[in-house]
Amino acid sequence: MPSHSFTVNGRSVSVDAPDDLPLLWALRDLLGVRGPKYGCGVDVCKACTSHLDGAEIRPCVVPVKDAAGKSVTTIEGLADGEQLHPVQEAWLEQDVAQCGFCQPGQIMAAVALLRRTSEPTDADIDAIANICRCGTYFRIREAIKSAAARLA
């Protein structure tokens, strides 16, 4: 079985897995990284949103071989020690989470959005298209705008 070496949240890892194994399963099942959630497995719900070398990805559809030699960041690696990322702080202040299932993916998508634009419009926020089964979209929008103001 092929071995794939990469970095997850600043830690070097290696997994023995088929090349086409979805990165999400390598993260969750082989490495115990539980932040990215399995929702659909086909890049629709975006509950698993993470970053690969800083770019937003859905590890449910990215094969583990594509992570080789790269850096994966999940919700667990977003904070700087005890200091939450400004998006995480805004999420708490706006009381976004209800069930919490989609929140890791929502937060990682919001971070990627704020890397692309410092003043996101409602259309920009809508375009991230992460599904929230609880319907907290208004609070998500407010949290992203609050985080944008913090990062400006």
Tens-digit pLDDT profile for residues 130-148 = 999 999 999 999 999 999 9
Q: How far apart are CA 100 and CA 77, in angstroms?
A: 18
Is a pLDDT exceeding 90 seen at residue 1? no
Q: How far apart are CA 138 and CA 94, in angstroms?
A: 10
Mean pLDDT of 92-119: 96
CATH topology of domain 86-151: DNA polymerase; domain 1 (1.10.150)
Give the CATH H-level superfamily of domain 3-77: Beta-grasp domain (3.10.20.30)
Q: How far apart are CA 9 and CA 14, in angstroms?
A: 13
Residue 8 contacts residue 74 (beta carbons within 8 Å): yes
β-pair type (55-57, 3-8)? unpaired
> pLDDT value at position 95?
95
- Domain boundaries in the chain? 3-77, 86-151
Tokens of 88: 């995480």
Residue 140 contacts residue 132 (beta carbons within 8 Å): yes
Tens-digit pLDDT profile for residues 55-71 = 999 999 999 999 999 99
SS3 72: strand
